[in-house]
Amino acid sequence: MAVDPVGQFNAWLAEAREAGVPLPEAMTLATADASGRPSARMLLLKGADEIGFTFFTGYESRKGRELEENPRAAIVVYWNELGRQVRVEGPVRRLSAEESDAYFETRPARSRAAAAASRQSEPIASREELEAEFERLLAEHEDAVPRPERWGGYVLEPETIELWEHRDDRLHDRFRFTREGNGWRRERLSP
């Protein structure tokens, strides 16, 4: 097992892509509100590096509100086909507007329009209302729909990363990495 858990994560992610795992960047994001009530949902991981694990969403969505109240989260990435999972826990902070803009501009025009049209987690009167706003934005901005201020990126700065790999007879390999200064302390865990 590697000494660098983020490097190991990225190696596993590359192997999942090469193996044809559907949506290998799909992850579960768990947050909690100020009272500690948890919630979890699936979304897409957009990057992992020495700074942290990056994702994008609506700031006014349920997860955005929970991260504002309680800026800590956990993610789980699971590749069933490879018998591997990675758990990450730590504080979460917003990316800068410039970082969010840079990512937003890489999205296809229709994806940008969808993000701008949706008031994530808010009730809507009908599907037609949502689609009308989507079409209005495309007609008004064509391929240059601007990033709404209510939407952007977050980075989960890992304090703990656990790498889990399936083994026969349920004697799985588990390693927990805990941040220590600029490095990591590695422990093998019982399955």
pLDDT for 1: 61
Indicate the pLDDT class of residue 43, thresholds 50, 70 and 90. very high
DSSP 147: P
pLDDT for 168: 87
d(CA 94, CA 64): 10
Indicate the pLDDT class of residue 61, thresholds 50, 70 and 90. very high
How much is the mean pLDDT over the chain? 95
Are 67 and 92 contacting, i.e. CB atoms less than 8 angstroms apart? yes
pLDDT for 100: 97
Q: Give mean pLDDT, residues 37-41.
A: 97
pLDDT at 184 over 90: yes
Are 31 and 70 contacting, i.e. CB atoms less than 8 angstroms apart? yes
d(CA 132, CA 112): 15
Q: Give mean pLDDT, residues 110-116.
A: 93
With pLDDT > 70 as the criterion, what percentage of the chain qualifies?
99
d(CA 137, CA 150): 16
d(CA 131, CA 190): 50
Residue 34, H or E segment = none
pLDDT for 78: 98
pTM for the model: 0.93
Indicate the pLDDT class of residue 142, thresholds 50, 70 and 90. confident
pLDDT digits (tens, 9 = 90+) for 74-96: 999 999 999 999 999 999 999 99
Q: Give mean pLDDT, residues 28-36.
A: 97
Q: Give mean pLDDT, residues 18-27.
A: 97
Residue 54, H or E segment = strand 53-58
pLDDT for 48: 97
By annotation, the residues acting in catalysis are 170
